Amino acid sequence: MIRLQRQWQNLLEFLFHPETDTWLAVFRIGMGLQVLVYALFLRSDWHSLFSTTGKGLVSRELGEAMVSFDSPLIPKLGWLVAFGRHLGLGEETVLSIAWACLLCMGCCLLVGLFCRAAAIIAWFLHLCAAESGGLLAYGADNFMTMALFYLMLSPLPDRYSVDSRLVKTKLTAPHLLGFWRRVLQIHLCFVYFFGGLAKLLGSGWWNGSNLWRSLIRPPFNLLSPDILVRFKYALPVLGISICLIEIGYPIFIWIKKTRFLWLVCILAMHAAIGLTMGMYLFAFVMIILNLAAFGVGMKVPFIGNLAGGSGSFSRSSNGPRDASGWGCHAVLFRQSLARRRKTREKTAKSAIF
Amino acid sequence: MISKRVYVAWFGIHFFLITAVCFAGLFSLVAERATILPSALDTYARKAELLAAWPLGKHAASSSPVRRSIATYLHAAGIQSGYTFFAPNIPGYHKLIFELNYEDGRIEYESPHFSGKAAALRLDSLLARLGDNRYEPLREVVVKMLALSIWRERPDVKKIRATFGLVSPPSISDFEQGKSESFQPIFSYDFSLRDEQKR
């Protein structure tokens, strides 16, 4: 019984370890940029993607019918179009408003204005678009929905947002910030573990042919095959390395000594995917997720903490820590500030006298 | 403490669902003989896939509230599909070619397209789905819609022949020997404005 209680306590300490809100600020700003770029990238094709039969490339209604088969409760753009019809607005107008709203929400998230409302609306509009264009959706959409879902539930606003500057709000409970960061961290471990495992089960990742195929097929063929052929002996090594980096992620990202190396490898992999295959949205959302989950507050060899925040917040670590440590640290910081203020006052007095 | 318990309960359910989705996807790959694992495992993998999909409510009728609730949650959280991107292997890619027959006898070739690069990635995703046997009932409808979009741009086209096929890129050694990709047609449709007939 005592052992069970201890394990329960350990689990709580692991899940609710105190955290600063710096990671949340990185996550919010990153997702704001992502939403902004998503909306701008699809600007010219928005109506072609989401119009009904006779106007779009593939009818929105078809995608929505397929989604409704899974569940009629899944949000879709058709709901907004139907609502707009009640108000006397045409389909094109509603779609344009939805796009403009998404763009606006991206800007709001970027600067941190009405953070919570912006995160909810951005999640809802993106989900509607992703589900209505279900046949045309790809991996980046799932990750964007997932990231916006977590952002919406996270304890916004963070102290870097306009919201917290306008309205002096209390700092969110550090253990809640820690919980949502843990959720993000563990989710990424699932993503890479299963991604790596599935790749290891394919022969093409062992001999490099999968890398070759993925880089020469349209629309990912940004690099000329002639250039790739020059590196043909490196392809099997790269293929196996990708599998090992992904499958090893859930282990090596938690070990302090290997965390920096693994994060750099993963970020480099996503940057390469973006630059060599043109999957910018996918690469960007994965980089944001990794930076928010493991990058912020991480110790960089020879430099120190990476964007760990200021003062008491700089000591945040990703490993499990005693919950009481946070409170003590904050008190220590306040005491050191008071000491510094007193010293400054004394110096000023002595200068006067 | 109570709120922490609520959070922990949500955490447990959420990651249990993610695990189920991921395992179902992984076992499905093994069952489809897409992996390097021996084919003797196919039947076990199929059973394991069904077992993994059970908590997702896949066994229930499509009108079941439990199934619908789970599906809604999975879609809302963006966890409805596993993470087997570019795995286990990367097959060839699919191509849809429209042969446009004009009134004056001219013939032109065209492919469905978007103006932006980001949307082009989505089109690739659509074509990959059309090549999947699970989407077979939708093929004709989707190809017809794509043909219609071409027609809107070129109203003087008399007839459209849509050919969908798999493009197999050359291997590295084939490429070095000067071989290029090969196109293998899978299906084709003839469309005209008045009547559409499947070939």
- Domain spans in chain B, listed from the N-terminal domain onward: 2-77, 93-198
pLDDT of B180 higher than 50:
yes
Which residue intervals of chain A are DSSP H helices? Answer: 2-15, 22-41, 46-50, 60-70, 77-86, 91-111, 115-132, 139-153, 162-166, 174-200, 204-207, 209-216, 225-230, 234-252, 256-277, 280-290, 324-352
Contact A158, A81 (CB under 8 A): no
Q: List CB contacts (< 8 A) between A53 and chain B.
A: 145, 148
Phi, psi values for residue B107, rounded to 5°: -130, 130
Q: Which residues of A187-226 are buried (b: 16+ CB within 10 A; e: fewer)?
A: bbbbbbbbbbbbbbbbebbeebbbbbbbbbbeebbeeebe
Nearest CA-CA distance, residue B165 and chain A, Å: 14
Q: What's the pTM value of the predicted model, to 2 decimals?
A: 0.87
Q: Are the beta carbons of A49 and B8 separated by less than 8 Å?
A: no
Q: Are the beta carbons of B90 and A53 separated by less than 8 Å?
A: no
Give the pLDDT confidence of A34-91 residue by residue, as tens digits.
999 999 999 988 998 898 866 677 888 888 988 898 899 999 999 999 999 999 999 9
Secondary structure class of A43 (helix, strand, coil)? coil
Q: Are the beta carbons of B62 and A190 separated by less than 8 Å?
A: no
Contact A52, A91 (CB under 8 A): yes
Q: Nearest by CB to A41, from B4, B83, B116: name it.
A: B116
Phi, psi values for residue A300, rounded to 5°: -95, 130
Q: Are the beta carbons of A48 and B82 separated by less than 8 Å?
A: no
Taking one residue from A and the other from B, the number of pairs with CB-CB distance under 8 angstroms is 217
Q: Is residue A40 less than 8 Å (CB to CB) from chain B?
A: no
Q: Is residue B66 less than 8 Å (CB to CB) from chain A?
A: no
Q: Which parts of chain A sit beneath pLDDT 70?
A: 53-55, 169, 171, 303-353
Q: Which residue has the higher pLDDT, A351 or B48?
A: B48
Nearest CA-CA distance, residue A267 and chain B, Å: 17
CB within 8 A of B108, min separation 6: which ones?
B99, B100, B102
Reported as a pLDDT band with limits 50, 70 and 90, residue B10 is very high
Count Cβ atoms below 10 Å from residue B140 Cβ, excluding itself: 15
Report the C-alpha gap between A78 and B70 in whole angstroms.
21
Q: Which residue has the higher pLDDT, A172 or B86?
A: B86
Report the C-alpha gap between B17 and B13 in whole angstroms.
6
- pLDDT for the residue A286: 97
Q: Which residue has the higher pLDDT, B155 or A280?
A: A280
Q: Span B160-173, mean pLDDT?
A: 92
- pLDDT for the residue A53: 62
- pLDDT for the residue B2: 59
Q: Residue A316 has which token pair?
A: 């945040």
Q: Are the beta carbons of B7 and A74 separated by less than 8 Å?
A: no
- pLDDT for the residue A213: 92
Q: Are the beta carbons of B146 and A58 separated by less than 8 Å?
A: yes
| Residue that is written with structure tokens 């209505």 in the block | A132
ipTM: 0.90
Q: Residue A345 has which token pair?
A: 């006052």
Report the C-alpha gap between B110 and A178 in whole angstroms.
53
Q: In whole angstroms, what separates CA A108 from the centre of its chain?
A: 16
- pLDDT for the residue A305: 66
Return left, alpha or beta for B152; rule: phi > 0 is left, psi -120 to 50 is alpha, else beta: alpha
- pLDDT for the residue A344: 52
Reported as a pLDDT band with limits 50, 70 and 90, residue B197 is very low
CB within 8 A of B185, min separation 6: which ones?
B163, B164, B165
CB within 8 A of A150, min separation 6: which ones?
A27, A180, A183, A184, A187
Report the C-alpha gap between B68 and B75 in whole angstroms.
10
Report B:149-178 residues touching A (Cβ under 8 A).
Answer: 149, 152, 167, 169, 171-172, 175-176
Give the pLDDT confidence of A278-306 residue by residue, as tens digits.
999 999 999 999 999 999 988 777 766 66
Q: Are the beta carbons of A127 and B141 separated by less than 8 Å?
A: no
Which residue in chain B is spatially nearest to A49 when comparing CA positions? B119
Which residue in chain A is spatially nearest to B121 when comparing CA positions? A219
- pLDDT for the residue A310: 36
Q: Residue A232 has which token pair?
A: 């043909």
Count Cβ atoms below 10 Å from residue B45 Cβ, excluding itself: 20
Q: Are the beta carbons of B149 and A62 separated by less than 8 Å?
A: no
Q: List CB contacts (< 8 A) between B87 and chain A.
A: 195, 198-199, 201-202, 205
- pLDDT for the residue A218: 85
Q: Is residue A255 less than 8 Å (CB to CB) from chain B?
A: no
Nearest CA-CA distance, residue A108 and chain B, Å: 22
- pLDDT for the residue B194: 61
Q: Which residues of A92-128 are buried (b: 16+ CB within 10 A; e: fewer)?
A: eebbeebbebbbbbbebbbbbbbbeebbbbbbbbbbb
**What are the CA-CA distances from residue A32 to residues A146, A345, B181 (Å)?**
14, 43, 41
Nearest CA-CA distance, residue A93 and chain B, Å: 21
Query: Could you give the dihedral angle defined by the CA atoms of residues A3, A5, A10 and A15, in that order, rounded to the nearest 10 degrees?
Result: 150
**What are the CA-CA distances from residue B23 to residues A188, B29, B43, B106 (Å)?**
16, 10, 15, 53
Phi, psi values for residue A304, rounded to 5°: 125, -145
Q: Where are the domains of chain A?
A: 23-156, 171-321, 324-353
Report the C-alpha gap between B1 and A12 in whole angstroms.
10
Q: Are the beta carbons of B71 and A183 separated by less than 8 Å?
A: no
Listed ranges A107-121, B59-73, B173-187; the one with the highest mean pLDDT? A107-121
| Residue that is written with structure tokens 């790596």 in the block | A196
Q: Nearest by CB to A45, from B79, B116, B152: name it.
A: B116
Q: List CB contacts (< 8 A) between A323 and chain B.
A: none
- In chain A, what percentage of residues exceed pLDDT 70? 84
Q: List CB contacts (< 8 A) between B79 and chain A.
A: 142, 146
Q: Is residue B63 less than 8 Å (CB to CB) from chain A?
A: no
Query: Could you give the dihedral angle defined by the CA atoms of residues A120, A124, A129 and A132, in that order, rounded to the nearest 10 degrees?
Result: 170
